[in-house]
């Protein structure tokens, strides 16, 4: 069931990114190429990330490494490897990295919001025990409350917390990015990192299935803290070092993209003649 939600989330995010990329003047096949490369490679990264931090188990059970249907993928692993894939693609095709990340970032939040419902259906990635009254006080539907009843015990619906947090972030970032002279190129993506890492840090503290470094540090909380601090630092340094960096709404200003587009137009005209 979790795969169904992941597929749906990727489809929705793809169409959203595709529409935005056309408005930004990117070639039509750019987002298609990104989807074909980054999504499957990202899934592999999400699995390898999980295996890495559960290495003692998989060392004894190597056959389980490919048994992804038994669960065990980590969003951060997918984001890291998927992000590196996007970086490689931009360098290979002469596309400004900041521009493409700005286009993709809101879509990733939307995908995460939808994808978490797969955890709900599988009754996984939940928090610690709570009372039924606690869940009722959250004004949740009976369907959600009963799904959080696992073997007679009710649990924190952390999937829902993260899903709603991601959806709220998606809406806020969409609103902010359409404000004139507010976010510079690259800052839509940084806003995503800031938003998601903040929510994930606190939500991760409620979960019962966290990956750990030793017995004292949750991996996702540590990484969230690093990403939060790192994104603030990068944001500050970019504003200091590149005060004239174009705003997001100003579109593409990179000469390489313009040349690519001009080259394509010239080729199409010659073909028509």
Q: Residue ranges for the binding site?
A: 116
Cα 158–193–222 angle (5° rounding)? 65
Residue 34, token pair as written in the block: 């990104």
Q: What are phi and psi of 72, to 5 degrees?
A: 110, 60
Q: 176-187 as b/e, with b when 16 or more CB fall inside 10 Å?
A: ebeeeeebbbbb
Largest Cα span, the chain? 73
CA distance 108 to 104: 6
**Strands 153-155 and 129-130, sheet pairing:** antiparallel
How many CA atoms lie less than 13 Å away from 211 in the CB half-sphere?
22
**Strands 129-130 and 217-218, sheet pairing:** unpaired
Give Cβ neighbours of residue 210 (< 8 Å, ≥ 6 apart).
204, 218, 219, 220, 221
Task: Tell me which DSSP letter residue 142 carries.
Answer: H
């Amino acid at each position: 069931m979790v795969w169904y939600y992941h597929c749906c989330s990727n489809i929705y995010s793809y169409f959203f990114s595709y529409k935005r990329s056309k408005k930004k003047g990117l070639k039509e096949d750019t987002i298609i190429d990104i989807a074909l490369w980054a999504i499957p490679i990202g899934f592999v990264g999400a699995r390898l990330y999980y295996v890495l931090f559960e290495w003692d188990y998989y060392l004894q059970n190597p056959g389980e490494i490919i048994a992804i249907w038994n669960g065990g993928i980590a969003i951060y692993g997918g984001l890291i490897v998927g992000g590196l894939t996007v970086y490689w693609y931009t360098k290979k095709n002469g596309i400004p990295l900041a521009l493409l990340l700005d286009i993709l970032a809101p879509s990733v939040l939307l995908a995460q919001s939808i994808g978490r419902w797969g955890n709900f259906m599988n009754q996984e990635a939940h928090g610690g025990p709570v009372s039924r009254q606690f869940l009722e006080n959250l004004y949740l539907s009976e369907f959600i409350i009963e799904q959080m009843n696992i073997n007679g015990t009710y649990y924190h619906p952390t999937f829902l917390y993260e899903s709603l947090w991601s959806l709220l972030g998606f809406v806020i970032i969409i609103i902010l990015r359409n404000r004139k002279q507010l976010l510079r190129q690259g800052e839509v993506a940084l806003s995503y990192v800031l938003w998601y890492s903040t929510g994930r840090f606190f939500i991760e503290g409620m979960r019962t299935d966290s990956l750990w470094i030793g017995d004292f540090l949750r991996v996702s909380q540590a990484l969230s803290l690093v990403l939060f601090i790192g994104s603030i630092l990068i944001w500050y340094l970019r504003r200091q070092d590149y005060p004239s960096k174009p705003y997001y709404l100003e579109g593409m200003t990179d000469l390489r993209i313009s040349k690519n587009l001009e080259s394509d137009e010239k080729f199409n005209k010659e073909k028509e003649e």
